[in-house]
Structure 1
Amino acid sequence: MSARAAAPVRGRVAVVPPHVPFVDQIAARWLEQAGHDPQACGNGLILLPSRRAGRALTEAFVRQVDGRPILLPRIAPIGALDEASLVLSGQNALDLPPAVDPMRRLATLTLLVMQAGKAFGDVQGVDQAWPLARALAELMDEAEWAECDLCERLPHAAEGDFAQHWHQTLQFLSIVTSVWPAWLAEQGVMNPVARQTALLHAQAARWRDSPPPAGYPVWAAGFSDAVPSTIVMLRAVLDQPDGMLILPGVDMECDDAIWRHLPPDHPQAGTAHMLAQLGVERAGMEIWSSLPHDCVASSPVSRASLLSRALLPAHALERWRERDVPVEADGLSILRSADQQEEAAAIAMVLRQVLERPGRRAALVTPDRALAGRVATELVRWGVVADDSAGESMLTVPQTAFLRLIVQAVDGGLSPVALLSAIKHPLAACGLSPGTCRASARQLERLVLRGPAPPPGIAGLRSALQRATEDPHGALADAPDAPEEISAFINRLETVFGPLLALPRDTMVPVSVLLAALVETAQALAATDTVDGAERLWAGEEGNALGQHMSALLAWCDVLPDSRLGALDGLLASSLAGMTVHGRRAVRGRDGMAAHPRVFIWGLLEARLQTADTIVLGGLVETVWPPATDPGPWMSRPMRTRVGLPSPEWGIGQAARDFVSCACAAGQVVLSVAARRQGAPTVPARWLVRLDAYLAGHGRSLPVHPALRWLDSLDRPEGGVATPVSPPRPCPPVGLRPRSLSVTEIETWMRDPYAIYARRILRLRRLADLEELADAADYGQIVHAALERWFRAHPSDWPAGGAERMQAVFAEVLREAGLRPALAAWWAPRLDRIAAWCARTEEARRATGTPRTVLTELSGRMRLEDLPGGPFTLRGRADRIDLHDGDGGLSLFDYKTGTLPLRRSVVEGWQSQLVLEAAMIECGGFPPPVAGSVSELVYWRLTGGHVPAQVLDVARGEELAELIASCRAGLRALVSAYDNPDQPYLSHPFPGEEPRFADYAHLARVAEWSAAREENGG
């Protein structure tokens, strides 16, 4: 990319200063040279860098003539050449082979990448190879734009001290660069960029040999950088009798010594290189600084000078100290937000505020598509729909998400989260009405998919349904849509997912078969009772674009090797990466609102040559704007230099040029930067850092935009003071309060009364999590079930070989649980250690003559009379009760597989389950032969770890008797307190004694009022 000297040109070159609206100036000057004759104005050609620039220039002509009828000149992007005119002039443009279909090219390159990967021992799937093929295609395009012969230069790219893997990569690239041209010739096609380059050279040759007649002006406008083929075209334009080149925002103040040595990441580097290639000196260029009729300056004249001085290259920074340097930042302001969401909300307020003034236009310019989407969503809050001219990524449109969710559901064995994501998608209907489908999906979720995940596949859903308990409130919750009968709905799912379910998940299948099965499944799942699935799935601009993509993928995927079903999701994602669509979703909001005519969202390409009254430059952080300087997976930076490819910093230079031009395209410009992005701290864009440093050196700074204060005021309550929410204090009538609770609920009642209110009075049940990790719960159930089975079989005797036989019982219960193999293998040795410890402990107890009989899993009751609200019943189930000979009393045990309670908590009544069971025994609450007093309260913590068990002996003798009496009195006092209608059911009333698991904390809004309590020291 060195700027070699070139022969001078004879055409005119003009510069439009940054403060002058560029397209309006072009339109005005064109009308002036045509004498404002409506017919003569249509004589000529204006070449522009892009189609978007062409549309902007057309609108500028309309503004200049104030709507009067006029013939427009031919306005064309430089790539849109008329091949027919080349043929008529004797150029053999149509003899060029057609361009290869992009999808065909990527599919073939993917095959080559996979074949070469096998040769190098690096076998990859089609989903992994496709992105590498895309990067390889981009490398080819870049080389062809730079007119660099990879076949000739690649062999020498890694000569010298390079890592071995780069030599292997170059060996692979050499294979592709030799095989690929042969394949193109065999197929009779060309690379698209190679063909475009050839057409540009052909057009330039035609103009040299047969120039347009005198009086036919040819202008090239808006170019700030150019590849060699474009340089040839611009030179051909300047060689015409009426040829002219009009450039935007050339820095005319930069010293020649600095201009000749601009680094590639400088905003003017591309323009300097282009002018050097054309042989144009800045001193000989015209300056069109006068404003067109009825136009105002897009920005203060001094702003371009300020930015030019602040962004000087490193070797020229001593010029910051010169006298009379520009330091006025009129119209510039900075918006420093905390994160992406705050940035989006603040930007939306800036744009919304501009619309308060009639006729004012506002725009957001950003390369960050996520930020653009957030701002568009925030604007809808005020009923403003922004036209996002950059379009929407094909990866985010609903149809693409629907296809990928289907693949993920089938590849995941219809796991709960993946299956519900697919069947709850707005496009899903399963041959029913959409409402009925969603109601059926919610019923399936409640009855089958909540809790531990069922086994994979349709069979797993049916087996889980057999174990499920019908929800009597399920159908009522979905009114007005009634769900289909659950078994019939599962059968329907088996039918619609059938094409994909019929494919083996771990076997190689032709990619065409995978894609065809996916399309068939998606159409069946999208079908309603009245509309065909294909009609719904491929409707609209987004559906049509996706349908064309899938058709091309199906047409050319036959060259790809067989793949597994799991690779299909990655193939869709990688093949759609970088594709956009400008559909109705981009220009219409909710309720079909049309896009607002005065607010815009532009990408960097769309923003070039555009103006507005207020522009926000969003996402000004490193790796976003400017982008990361990634040389790609195929070549390192030094290798690219040897081959002759431009360095990645040229992309930074173009991003810098976009920054400067956009910063000069409006009277009011807001520079927006978020302190955090995706949870991680950000680095402000280098241009902001430069600008801050430059202004700070002169005692100045960028003014802070007030949008964050507006945002704070927007969400501030009336009066300006936020009042923390108070904890809930429900006081239901005594008649609705529970008169019977279990011993475990008593602990909940003490620690979190609100949970008792929600569960027993409001009758609300917490839904189990999807794909719940039930490891701890299953573990406790297995331990309890094994000990119950053992002691029911041996209540009073101890068989020979008891340890081995107990371990066999534990293993049997584990097998019956039907757990996944990995979890069963993890628990088996732990259960063995628990069984061995229990056997040793029990043999030691039996050796001393106790117990006489072991009773397990007994249920009991205790009734409290003479209470204000009437009798109260306590229920409980004891894990183990030991009966002793004579008057030795009873031993009461509780098994724990989780945390062992603290003795202090048991004595103080916070964990009173075992003590309450002892009180029930002494009140005769358990059936015979359980009777008498309790002499021992014991907790066994059975974990099976390095220390397999722990024992907590709570109390004995007189201390135990006092504890039981105190607990009984405390229970009576607790019930009496809540028989008072003024006693509220508070949530977490005792800080430090909150429950470990709070199912109703979200309902009680604990996180809100507890934070306020902590701030106030409560």
Structure 2
Amino acid sequence: DRNLARRVALKMRRWNVVVDDSGGVPFANSACGTFLRLAAGFLVDPGDPVAALALIRHPLARLGLDEPQRLEAIDTLDRALRGVRPSGGLAGVAGRIAGRAPALAALGVLATAAERFAAAAGAPFSEKLRAHLDAAALIAGGALWTGDDGAAGAALFDDVLENEAALNAVRAGAYGDIFGALTAGAVVRRRSEAHPRLAILGPLEARLLSAGHVILGGLNEGVWPQGAPADPFLSRAMREKVGLPSPERRIGLAAHDFAQGAAAARVTLTRAARAGGAPAKPSRWIVRLKNILDGAGALPAVDRSPLWRARAALLDQPDAVTPAEPPRPRAGKDRRPATLPVTDIEKWIRDPYAIYARRVLRLKPLDEPGVEPGPREVGTLLHRVFERAAAAAETLTIEALQSLLDEEAARAGLAGADRAFWSAGLDEALRWFAEFDRGQRAQGRCFVESQGALTLQGVDPPFTLTARADRIDVLESGAAAIFDYKLATLPTDMQDKTNFSPQLPLTAAILAAGGFASIPARGVEAYRYLRITGRTGDADKDEFGRRGADAGQAMREAEDALRKWIARFDDPESAYLSKPRAKFIKRGGRDNAELDTDYDQLARRREWTASEDAEGDGE
């Protein structure tokens, strides 16, 4: 069991004991082998952000830079490769890091390496392999073939390339998979200062040596002994007829090895109770020995399993366990956020800890690298299209909207299969917008993606509320109508009345106070949230908002509630709790999953709440 041998050797490092493993380390898992596998993954698809990041973070990826420049380049490329996969491959990445010299230099090395490998695209497999090794050496900058693993790798590929004719017989298949198969059997034997009295040996080597204490590990069925191999071509009778040994012969040889090892003066027999997440079956030899010892009444004196389990548990058992309380950070008025957008007010109400982490501690979550375009990206794309369309002199046709969508989709990296996947929802949204825009233009003038801000009077320290309205229409009456496009669930009537979703009422308050530079102060006739995809045709389900006196009252109540909320957190004893109102989210009709989970791990929610539905203390 090579995995067991490697795990034991690594576990012994806990006590600074280096144990010599006669089986060595698989070349594929060595530093050189890992780097070459990562290079293969990158060269096959240079535009894959995950493959590129994995490669440049490997210690052998020198990228032609000194260490400080290399670290700076890695940090810059790490940020540039996050989010939606950049269109145009490495050229698209270059557009995200303009002016960052170390990162551009590193990107140039990667691009040159990718070009060298791409030049061998139609060549025989041996030429592809040479191009791969050449590109990897360029990225490593001369450090590739150093050390024990580098020497083993150089010898391995010399042998492989000597059999060029056989190598070129490979015609199909993924290059990375074939390369992995070529290196699978190679082993690196390191020259290290191993402990003089300890060794990990295979059964054959162990026969030649004697030891004061022998530990036989992996005594499970399927491991020791291994199961009889199945022959897909010859039955047992056919094997016997042609003089081949039976499949069980290996089990007999394994039994001989076991008997010789178990006959040592001092021996410990071990096995895993579980393997691969499932209960493991003990080796037949363990079962037979237990039966014999049990019959002789000697099993309790020999079976030391309870003792060793207890000792193993004590290794990591602390002297005492003191549960940590849920985080209750406080900021007071001196560190209370001085500026927030209206979209963050709802988050402040529902998850104060997220606001504390983002606005006070200034911790911003990073996107995953190379993510597939999802609802957030599609929503941003449609917002851009609607903004440009509303700014046009007249309502655009479906064809013109489609042209805008194609242009913005290409810029956002939504192309190919992703574009096709979202096509039905996107086309539906365009048809709806054309009709909506035509109706709104007949009622007045449109202002799109307008920026506004309002500093609340009487609040000390000052607090500024900002907003970016998706669309504001100034009606013929002189009043305004505010619209917000939603891709997901709309706020409910109860959430709006209780100021749990105050985005548009607060935007209306900014507009009424003259906070939008492009729009003079005026009354708000209506505000509405509009679903732009998945519309049902039922206005009650596709839209929500208020108009007339109800809109004005909601605006005033939202501003009053915000002032009280600010005053509460100006109190130095008020804590920024993590999602204290989860129960209200359920009653409001929105699933907990819709709330951001970016800061849940930082808040250690899994430590102190049984589930995401656990009710808070109501604070």
**TM-score w.r.t. structure 2 length?**
0.86
Indicate if the aligned counterparts of 1:411 and 1:565 stay in contact, CA closer than 8 A.
Answer: no
Q: Which of 230, 245, 251 is matched with 1:646 structurally?
A: 245
Could you tell me which residue of structure 2 aligns to residue 374 of structure 1?
A: 7
Distance in 2 (CA, whole Å) between partners of 1:948 and 1:493 is 53
Contact 1:462 1:490 in 2 (8 A): no
2:502 aligns with: 912
State the AA in 1 paired with 2:455: R
SS in 1 for 2:255: helix
Residues 619, 674 of structure 1: 8 Å contact kept: no
**Alignment counterpart, residue 523 of structure 1, candidates 118, 127, 137:** 137
Distance 1:813 1:757 in 2: 34
Distance in 2 (alpha carbons) for counterparts of 1:696 and 1:954:
78
In structure 2, do the counterparts of structure 1 residues 1012 and 569 end up closer, same or farther at CA, with 3 Å as the change threshold?
A: closer
In structure 2, the residue corresponding to 1:537 is in which secondary structure?
coil
For residues 486 and 914 of structure 1, the distance between their equivalents in structure 2, rounded to whole angstroms, comes to 42
Within-5 A mapping of 1:460-475: 460-468=89-97
Which residue does the alignment assign to 2:162?
A: 555
Change (3 A) 1:870 1:563: same
Match of 2:426 among 831, 834, 842: 831
Task: Tell me by how many angstroms 1:766 deviates.
Answer: 1.9
- 40, 43, 53: which one pairs with 1:420? 53
Written as runs of structure 1 = structure 2, the 5 A alignment for 1:932-951 is 932-944=522-534, 950-951=541-542
Match of 1:544 among 151, 159, 163: 151
Q: TM-score, normalised by structure 1?
A: 0.54
Q: Which of 24, 37, 44 lines up with 1:391 in the alignment? A: 24
Question: 1:827 Cα shift?
Answer: 2.5
**1-structure distance, mates of 2:417, 2:551:** 44
Q: Could you tell me which amino acid in structure 1 is paired with residue 493 of structure 2?
A: R
Q: Deviations over 1:764-795 (max 9, x none)?
A: 2222211122332321122112222222225x
Note if contact 2:332-2:570 (Cα within 8 Å) is conserved in structure 1.
no
Which residue of the partner structure matches residue 303 of structure 1? Answer: none
Contact 2:27 2:183 in 1 (8 A): yes
Give yes or no for contact 1:859–1:878 (8 Å, CA) kept in 2: yes
**Paired residue total:** 605
Query: What SS is found at the alignment partner of 1:648?
Result: coil
Partner residue of 1:596 out of 168, 180, 195 = 195
* Structure 2 CA distance for aligned equivalents of residues 948 and 606 of structure 1: 78
| Aligned 8 A contact 2:87 2:411 in 1 | no
What is the alpha-carbon distance in structure 1 between the residues aligned to residue 196 and residue 610 of structure 2?
A: 45
Quick one: which amino acid aligns to residue 345 of structure 2? I
- The answer to whether structure 1 residue 710 and structure 2 residue 319 are counterparts is no
Give the partner amino acid of 1:980. Answer: D
How many Å separate the matches in 1 of 2:616 and 2:522? 49
| Paired residue type of 1:408 | G
Partners of 1:390 and 1:606 within 8 A in 2: no
Q: Which residue of 2 aligns with 1:339?
A: none
Cα distance between partner residues in 2 of 1:683 and 1:371: 16
1:283-312 per-position Cα deviation (integer Å, ceiling 9, x unaligned): xxxxxxxxxxxxxxxxxxxxxxxxxxxxxx
1:65-80 aligned at under 5 Å gives the runs: none
Task: Say whether residues 1:489 and 2:106 are aligned partners.
Answer: yes
Cα distance in 2 for residues equivalent to 1:956 and 1:430: 61
TM-aligned CA deviation for residue 834 of structure 1: 1.7
1:743 to 342, 350, 355: 342
With over 3 angstroms needed to count, the CA separation of the structure-2 counterparts of 1:445 and 1:606, relative to structure 1, is: same
1:741-761 CA distance string (max 9 Å, x none): 101121222222232222223
Aligned amino acid, residue 708 of structure 1:
R
Question: Residue by residue, what CA displacement relative to the aligned partner does 1:942-984 show, whole Å, maximum 9, x if unpaired?
Answer: 2258879951324445544443332212111111122223323
Q: Deviations over 1:98-127 (max 9, x none)?
A: xxxxxxxxxxxxxxxxxxxxxxxxxxxxxx
Per the alignment, in what secondary structure is the counterpart of residue 244 of structure 2? Answer: coil
Distance 1:434 1:695 in 2: 62
Query: In the alignment, which residue of structure 2 is the partner of 1:819?
Result: 414
Q: How does 1:225-624 map to 2 (within 5 A)?
A: 368-434=1-67, 436-446=69-79, 448-455=80-87, 460-468=89-97, 485-504=102-121, 507=122, 509-527=123-141, 533=142, 536-561=143-168, 567-584=174-191, 588=192, 594-608=193-207, 610-624=209-223
Q: How does 1:863-942 map to 2 (within 5 A)?
A: 863-867=455-459, 869-886=460-477, 889-927=479-517, 929=519, 931-942=521-532
| Secondary structure of 1:793 counterpart | coil
Larger radius of gyration: 1
Match of 1:782 in 2: 381
SS in 1 for 2:508: helix
Structure 2: distance between partners of 1:378 and 1:954: 62
Deviation, 1:862, is 2.1
- Find the counterpart in structure 2 of residue 675 from structure 1: 274
| Unaligned residue ranges in structure 1 (runs of 5+) | 1-367, 472-483, 528-532, 589-593
Contact 1:883 1:930 in 2 (8 A): no
TM-fit CA distance, 1:551 = 0.8
SS in 2 for 1:403: helix
Distance 1:623 1:961, change over 3 A: farther
- Structure 2 segments unaligned to the other structure (5+ residues): 586-591
**Residue 854 of structure 1, aligned match among 439, 446, 449:** 446
Q: Per-residue displacement from partner, 1:384-407 (whole Å, max 9, x unpaired)? A: 111112222222222222222211
Compared with structure 1, are the counterparts of its residues 823 and 865 closer, same or farther at alpha carbon in structure 2 (3 Å cutoff)? same
The match for 1:990 is 581
Q: Which residue of 1 aligns with 2:571?
A: 980
1:833 alignment partner, SS class: helix
Distance 1:943 1:683, change over 3 A: farther
SS in 2 for 1:778: helix
Distance 1:385 1:556, change over 3 A: same
What is the alpha-carbon distance in structure 2 between the residues aligned to residue 565 and residue 520 of structure 1? 22
1:658 corresponds to 2:290: no
Q: 2:328 corresponds to which letter in structure 1?
A: R
Deviation for aligned residue 1:596: 1.6
The residue type equivalent to 1:986 in the other structure is L
Determine the structure 2 residue equivalent to 1:357. none
Q: Is residue 543 of structure 2 the alignment partner of residue 952 of structure 1?
A: yes
Q: Which residue matches 2:605?
A: 1006
Measured after TM superposition, the shift of residue 451 of structure 1 is 1.9
Distance 2:536 2:225 in 1: 55
CA shift, 1:468, in A, is 4.2
| Contact 2:219/2:269 (8 A) holds in 1 | no
Label 1:650 to 1:436 Cα distance change in 2 as closer, same or farther (>3 A): farther
